[in-house]
Structure 1
Amino acid sequence: MYVEALGLFDKLMCYPYLKPDSYTYPSVLKACGGLCRVVLGQMVHTCLIKTGLMVDIVVRSYLVSMYAKCNSFEYAIQMFDEMPDKDVACWNTVISCYYQIRKFEEALRYFGMMRRYGFEPNSVTITTAILSCARLFDLERGREIHKELINSGFWLDSFVSSALVDMYGKCGHLEMAIEVFEQMPKKSIVAWNSMITGYGFKGDCFSCVQLFKRMYNEGIKPTLTTLSSILMACSRSVQLLEGKYLY
């Protein structure tokens, strides 16, 4: 209820004997980010500087997140770099920022820095790092991250598994993509699409359609990505009948 939260904050600012504190501002910043109110967020940022609350790591973390959610990635990264102390949430935010502005090498560099500084990556961090490898077609680094996850006993949730399927598929290593995909207890639509797209890159129309049929039988509703990937595969392999099957 972001609008209501900001309305209450506005009323609070009218009280002469009450002042917002380090518990107030994180919620206000979250509301600004949720509504993409970057101008208001900048005004709150100014208040934090004047009141000396910028020293609070939680407040700073929410400030970084607010700028990121408002697509002000340069401010988010600048805020992060200026923080003397950082938490996992901040690292995740800045890595995600670099991924969203398509600076995948930087995303992976910060991922490496995070681990060197002793922070334990979580599912969000690892998913973004693997997706960055996929966008760079960097199979070697992607496999290295996967190997480390297995050796550490990290639980591969649907997000991490889907990212691995996507990475192996885009890098042309379909055997590993299938292995990860089949081990998923609950396959997300992202994982299905990644597998179909992987076969599509190779022009394997038959496997695309077989996966599509299996997907349909398991009650998974296809998306536009699913259909466009299969049609592209049919086009590449000149399979008119398979393409008509979709129609």
Structure 2
Amino acid sequence: MFIHSVFNAIAVSKYLQLGKAVHGIVLKSGSDMMIVSVYNAIADAYAKCGALEDVRKVFDRMGERDMVSWTTLVTAHSQCSEWEEALAIFSQMREEGFSPNQFTFSSVLVSCAGLCFLDFGRQVHSLCCKTGLDTDKCIESALLDMYAKCGNISEAAMIFERISNPDTVSWTAIISGYAQHGGQRILNPTMNGLRK
């Protein structure tokens, strides 16, 4: 759909003023505004531009919401360091019967890490396991980062050790965790940089 492509391009370029202008044209024309996917594309463009207030306005105007709508709102708040609000939205989303996907979980874990909410993070980890998403690459990285930032280095190390091919994000998270929270644990052979 043409309108989706336009807002996807705005999201990639982070051209907020153009996004607002096109959004205004769409509102005036009334075309496609009842379609949830159009709302989602507009909200995502605002989120990528860091316009949190506009994301919320679009979300609040939606007559119908889907998993993408909720994930966009949670992610937007998490990326803007509005972590408590991200967790509150996540809780509301679950109360309304929506099941989180890997992107929702990742954003929530980022928020837990930012707030050092270890108990909440453990609950989210449990939910990830129940849905079978705990081995998803982006969730593993988010779990590792959350445990490391919350000071639970042993759990962070366990997550790291089960990652088959850790990327720079994973290595950085485990190294930062050890640097910030200390510990005399000797790294095992899988963590000594000799992993093949």
TM-score (norm 1): 0.72
Please report how far the alpha carbon of residue 77 of structure 1 lies from its aligned counterpart in structure 2 after TM superposition: 1.6
Alpha carbons of structure 1 residues 207 and 190: separation in structure 2 relative to 1, 3 Å? farther
C-alpha separation between the residues in 1 aligned to 2:38 and 2:148?
A: 40
In the alignment, structure 1 residue 120 sits paired with structure 2 residue 99: yes
Contact 1:199 1:207 in 2 (8 A): no
C-alpha separation between the residues in 1 aligned to 2:18 and 2:130?
A: 46
In the alignment, structure 1 residue 61 sits paired with structure 2 residue 40: yes
Query: Residue in 1 aligned with 2:89?
Result: 110
Alpha carbons of structure 1 residues 43 and 112: separation in structure 2 relative to 1, 3 Å? same
In the alignment, structure 1 residue 167 sits paired with structure 2 residue 146: yes
SS in 1 for 2:133: coil
Superposed CA deviations along residues 174-208 of structure 1, whole A, max 9, x for unmatched, are: 12111111122222221111111111123347758
SS in 1 for 2:98: coil
Amino acid paired to 1:160: I
Contact 2:102 2:133 in 1 (8 A): no
Superposed CA deviations along residues 85-141 of structure 1, whole A, max 9, x for unmatched, are: 112222122111111221101001111111121222111110110111111111100
In the alignment, structure 1 residue 156 sits paired with structure 2 residue 130: no
The alignment-based identity, stated in percent, is 32
Please report how far the alpha carbon of residue 36 of structure 1 lies from its aligned counterpart in structure 2 after TM superposition: 2.0
Contact 1:77 1:97 in 2 (8 A): no
Query: Residue in 2 aligned with 1:45?
Result: 23
- Structure label with greater radius of gyration: 1
Which of these residues, 59, 65, 74, is aligned with residue 53 of structure 2? 74
Amino acid paired to 1:195: I
C-alpha separation between the residues in 2 aligned to 1:57 and 1:195?
A: 39
C-alpha separation between the residues in 2 aligned to 1:212 and 1:154?
A: 23
Amino acid paired to 1:26: H
In the alignment, structure 1 residue 34 sits paired with structure 2 residue 31: no
Superposed CA deviations along residues 125-175 of structure 1, whole A, max 9, x for unmatched, are: 101101111111111001111122223333421211111111111112112
Which of these residues, 115, 128, 135, is aligned with residue 136 of structure 1? 115
Alpha carbons of structure 1 residues 24 and 82: separation in structure 2 relative to 1, 3 Å? same
C-alpha separation between the residues in 1 aligned to 2:132 and 2:45?
A: 33
Amino acid paired to 1:218: R
Please report how far the alpha carbon of residue 26 of structure 1 lies from its aligned counterpart in structure 2 after TM superposition: 0.9
Query: Residue in 1 aligned with 2:69?
Result: 90
TM-score (norm 2): 0.90
C-alpha separation between the residues in 2 aligned to 1:25 and 1:105?
A: 33
The unaligned stretches of length 5 or more in structure 1 are 1-22, 220-247
Alpha carbons of structure 1 residues 213 and 145: separation in structure 2 relative to 1, 3 Å? closer
C-alpha separation between the residues in 1 aligned to 2:123 and 2:192?
A: 31
C-alpha separation between the residues in 2 aligned to 1:126 and 1:120?
A: 10
| Number of equivalenced pairs | 195
Superposed CA deviations along residues 49-103 of structure 1, whole A, max 9, x for unmatched, are: 1221221211111111111112222111211122121122221221111112211
Query: Residue in 2 aligned with 1:226?
Result: none
Query: Residue in 1 aligned with 2:177?
Result: 198
C-alpha separation between the residues in 2 aligned to 1:101 and 1:111?
A: 15
Please report how far the alpha carbon of residue 212 of structure 1 lies from its aligned counterpart in structure 2 after TM superposition: 11
The unaligned stretches of length 5 or more in structure 2 are none
